[in-house]
């Protein structure tokens, strides 16, 4: 079970209270987690990564275990603590604008 914490606006959009818990088949990569998240909550498609290119939107960041994973390859394995659910993957709206 992988835990994901979404920013407030995306929780509101997807009508989610608290964390999301996802079953991810295969290696726990960022791409696999986002695929599973979007499968459960289709309205999140296009909000975190581009519909077509699948690139992370510029003002979205991925944090976990006090690390910034935003620039890591989508195919890179997430930290073990995220993969086993002791730590969440944080999807964050960057601090920008007013």
**Residue 71 contacts residue 62 (beta carbons within 8 Å):** no
Q: Which of 13, 14, 37 is nearest to 90 (CA)?
A: 37
Whole-number Å distance between alpha carbons of 59 and 93: 6
The CB-of-97 to other proteins minimum distance in angstroms stands at 6
Q: How far is CA 33 from CA 17, 42, 76, 95, 96, in A?
A: 18, 14, 11, 23, 25
Distance of closest approach, residue 51 Cβ to other proteins, in angstroms: 5
Residue 59 lies near other proteins (rule: CB under 8 A): yes
Among 10, 33, 78, 82, binds other proteins (CB under 8 A): 10
When asked if residue 37 is in the footprint of other proteins (CB under 8 A), the reply is no
Least distance from C-beta 42 to other proteins, angstroms? 9
Q: Which of 1, 23, 25, 51 contacts other proteins by CB under 8 A?
A: 51
> Which CB, 29 or 47, lies closer to other proteins?
47
């Amino acid at each position: 079970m992988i835990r994901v914490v979404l920013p407030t606006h995306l929780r509101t959009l997807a009508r989610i209270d608290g964390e999301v818990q996802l079953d991810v088949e295969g290696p726990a990569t960022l791409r696999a987690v986002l695929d599973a998240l979007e499968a459960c909550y289709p309205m999140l498609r296009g909000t975190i990564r581009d519909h077509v290119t699948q690139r992370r939107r510029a003002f979205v960041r991925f944090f976990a275990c006090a690390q910034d994973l935003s620039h890591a390859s989508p195919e890179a394995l997430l930290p073990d603590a995220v993969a086993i659910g002791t730590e969440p993957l944080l999807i964050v709206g960057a601090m920008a604008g007013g």
